[in-house]
Chain A
Amino acid sequence: MSHIVQNQKYRNRQKIKDAFITAFIAIFAVVWMIPILWTFWTSLRPYSDIIQKGVFSRPDTLNLQNYADAYRLMNIWEYLSNSFIVAIPAVFLTLFFGSLIAFVVTRYSFKFNLYLLLLFTAGNLLPVQLVYAPLFKMYIWIGDLVGNRNILYDSYLGVILIHVALQVGFATFVMSSYMKTIPKEISESAMVDGASVFRHYWNVILPLLRPPLAALSVLMTTWIYNEFFWAIVLIKSDSKRPITSALGRLQGEFVTDFNLLAAGAIMAALPTLIIFFILKRQFVSGLTLGSTKG
């Protein structure tokens, strides 16, 4: 009897505590959204409205005019397509290369396997500041060597390749830890059947890699799309820059017309937001496959 009463008391106290925590997290969540909502709100109002009546005024008009203007004036479409021209091949190559290394390292027992894995994973963790100055020089030298200075420097190819070279370490790591869970017997029966290494990879292992490939492709697309630094260092022509790199310049050019800039920023954020809301599970599992498999 007394035990039940005590239990009841404990449960009541827990309920009150839970209500407090829930309220706190809810308030925190609202605060979390304010910057984005405020930017969105700003993007819906005409500039003249704010100049005349102040930022906090009740708006006369709320429409998407800023989006139409920003789209036109800022060449948003051009920059967005640059982003995809870089991100899509980069993600594809990263996953392809990563799956190759992961396949060899987990399916065959060579002595160098562990060193290879360590090399790729460590390379992924290096501070990029260590890499970019010589890389920039290297791109120009290679360009001079083949007689076309823009083969790597100031070209999509150069940016794609450095993204692949850096990210392949993460992809390798995630896929190799996933592949370790695929039973060895599958590979052994393939080898007994006399399948070549290529068939073993292409027909046996690759189809089994769908879950990590899906998760990684979502995650890598977001990362590479969001990354703006390499394009700033390696691409000189503004017309070739991905949107996240172009935003810096647009910010300077449209600094006074911030409603337009807000619309531009929202449009730049849309692709990753859409990907996230549609493929949230893939995004989350991509990040966690890499970190919790330890």
Chain B
Amino acid sequence: MTTTATRVKTRRRRAFTRRDIVTLVLFIGVPSFLHIFWVWIPALSTIGLSFTFWNGVKISDIKWAGLANYNTIFTASPQFYDALQNNAYWLLWFTFIATPLGVLLAYQVDRAIRGHKIYESVYYIPVVLSLAVIGIIWRFMLGPAGLVQVLLGHPGIEDAIPIFGNYSINTYVILGIASWRHIGYIMLLYLAGLKSVDPSLREAAAIDGATEWQTFRKIVLPAMAPVNTIIIVITVIESLRAFDLIYIIYGTSTGWPILGMLVFVNIYGQAASMLGAAYAVILFLLSIIPIVFYLRTVFREDIK
């Protein structure tokens, strides 16, 4: 048993010539070098720097700060709690409204209702647009002289009512715009999964007199288990690292604070602290759970 194992091993090892080994090292080495130096080392540096004070100029200026940055965030930054709250709203809204809507839409479109090809394209379009473009498009809807303003009876630029700056509604406005894109994205992912569910299962359920809702819950949802996990994880990760849309609408002002924005503002704004790094680490700690969940789902078979 052991001898055959070693013999197999040596035979395999002998199959690699020196050139093959060089090729393999390059194949793995070059992409890994880039990935580790461009992604992991900066990420680990941020974690390290979050425990320091530094003005970002000379390495010798780095001073150990312990948990001081975190202390500042938790005790002296009311913005942190606002941001946490906004991230939570984002997460709740995406989980309970936008994502289920995308799933439902996919389910209905998959039943090949009339014109389903057109609807597919329509709902996908926001997914292929850059958030930079989406920001401008929604300014034409909601900003001064925008369509919504005109419909509300404020057609001029001077008498426009503030929508993005109105604290009682801007959360819904932002989440609405974000959903415009997210629903199509979820629908797209789910639709592809649905195509792989055996249609005869559903026919059988319909013949047995199951209602639409029963079929969905008892047949479709269980068959889609892996896709469900991935969609949930994507929803959570997207809600945590949301940044682009807020940046496009508010710039770097914290008109609607969110964790991703606080990282950005504090790294480029206040020189001598590493508050931004500490914010990034908090964001990272919150993302670990969904990331691990995702890796466990997609590598389930390999890990075993």
A251 contacts B20, C-beta separation under 8 Å: no
The answer to whether A132 and B295 touch (CB under 8 A), given A21-B113, A225-B130, A262-B140, is no
B130 contacts A25, C-beta separation under 8 Å: no
Q: What would 30 A/B residue contacts be, using CB atoms closer than 8 Å?
A: A14-B212, A22-B115, A25-B105, A25-B109, A26-B119, A32-B180, A34-B147, A35-B140, A55-B155, A101-B32, A119-B35, A126-B39, A129-B241, A133-B46, A134-B45, A135-B38, A165-B35, A166-B38, A169-B35, A225-B130, A226-B128, A244-B133, A261-B136, A280-B124, A285-B192, A288-B192, A291-B189, A292-B192, A293-B298, A294-B226
Q: A14-B212, A126-B287, A161-B38 are in contact. List 10 more A-B contacts (CB 8 A).
A: A101-B27, A103-B27, A126-B284, A127-B283, A127-B287, A196-B19, A228-B132, A244-B130, A268-B132, A291-B231
**What A residues does B146 contact at CB under 8 A?**
55
In the assembled complex, the Cα of A266 lies from the Cα of B208 at a distance in Å of 51
Contact with A along B121-155 (1 / 0, CB 8 A): 11111101111110111111100011100100001
A29 contacts B113, C-beta separation under 8 Å: no
In terms of DSSP, what is the predominant structure of the interface of chain B?
Answer: helix
Nearest A residue (CB) for B29: A100
Tell me which residues from 232 to 282 in chain B have a Cβ below 8 Å from any Cβ of chain A.
234, 237, 240-241, 243-244, 247-248, 251, 259-260, 263-264, 267, 276-277, 279-281
Closest chain-A Cβ to B238's Cβ sits at a distance in Å of 11
Chain A: interface residue total (CB-CB under 8 A): 98
The answer to whether A197 and B23 touch (CB under 8 A), given A35-B180, A38-B141, A244-B133, is yes
In the assembled complex, the Cα of A170 lies from the Cα of B255 at a distance in Å of 33
A138 at interface by CB-CB < 8 Å: yes
A204 at interface by CB-CB < 8 Å: no
B227 at interface by CB-CB < 8 Å: yes
A92 at interface by CB-CB < 8 Å: no
The answer to whether A122 and B295 touch (CB under 8 A), given A18-B113, A268-B133, is yes
Query: Which of B39, B136, B248 contacts A123, CB < 8 Å?
Result: B39
B42 contacts A35, C-beta separation under 8 Å: no
Query: Counting chain B CB atoms within 10 Å of each CB, which of A18, A54, A123, A126 scores highest?
Result: A126
In terms of DSSP, what is the predominant structure of the interface of chain A?
Answer: helix
B113 contacts A123, C-beta separation under 8 Å: no
B192 contacts A284, C-beta separation under 8 Å: yes
B188 contacts A288, C-beta separation under 8 Å: yes
**What B residues does A196 contact at CB under 8 A?**
17, 19-20, 23
**What A residues does B124 contact at CB under 8 A?**
276, 280, 283-284
B284 contacts A114, C-beta separation under 8 Å: no
Chain B: interface residue total (CB-CB under 8 A): 104
B5 at interface by CB-CB < 8 Å: no
B15 at interface by CB-CB < 8 Å: yes
Closest chain-A Cβ to B227's Cβ sits at a distance in Å of 6
Closest chain-A Cβ to B150's Cβ sits at a distance in Å of 5
Closest chain-A Cβ to B192's Cβ sits at a distance in Å of 3
B226 contacts A38, C-beta separation under 8 Å: no
Query: Which of B105, B150, B229 contacts A294, CB < 8 Å?
Result: B229
Tell me which residues from 75 to 118 in chain B have a Cβ below 8 Å from any Cβ of chain A.
105, 108-109, 111, 113-115, 118
Closest chain-A Cβ to B301's Cβ sits at a distance in Å of 9
A62 at interface by CB-CB < 8 Å: no
B113 contacts A280, C-beta separation under 8 Å: no
B43 at interface by CB-CB < 8 Å: yes
In the assembled complex, the Cα of A118 lies from the Cα of B281 at a distance in Å of 20
A65 at interface by CB-CB < 8 Å: no
The answer to whether A134 and B133 touch (CB under 8 A), given A117-B299, A125-B291, is no
The answer to whether A101 and B31 touch (CB under 8 A), given A29-B119, A29-B122, A244-B132, is yes
The answer to whether A32 and B299 touch (CB under 8 A), given A38-B147, A127-B240, is no
In the assembled complex, the Cα of A276 lies from the Cα of B260 at a distance in Å of 29
Query: Counting chain B CB atoms within 10 Å of each CB, which of A22, A201, A294 scores highest?
Result: A294
B1 at interface by CB-CB < 8 Å: no
B276 contacts A25, C-beta separation under 8 Å: no
B122 contacts A33, C-beta separation under 8 Å: yes
Closest chain-A Cβ to B132's Cβ sits at a distance in Å of 4
B300 contacts A38, C-beta separation under 8 Å: no
A131 contacts B42, C-beta separation under 8 Å: yes
B49 at interface by CB-CB < 8 Å: yes
B122 contacts A32, C-beta separation under 8 Å: yes
A280 contacts B121, C-beta separation under 8 Å: yes
A129 contacts B28, C-beta separation under 8 Å: no
Nearest B residue (CB) for A141: B59
Nearest B residue (CB) for A32: B122
Query: Counting chain B CB atoms within 10 Å of each CB, which of A36, A118, A161 scores highest?
Result: A36
B27 contacts A245, C-beta separation under 8 Å: no
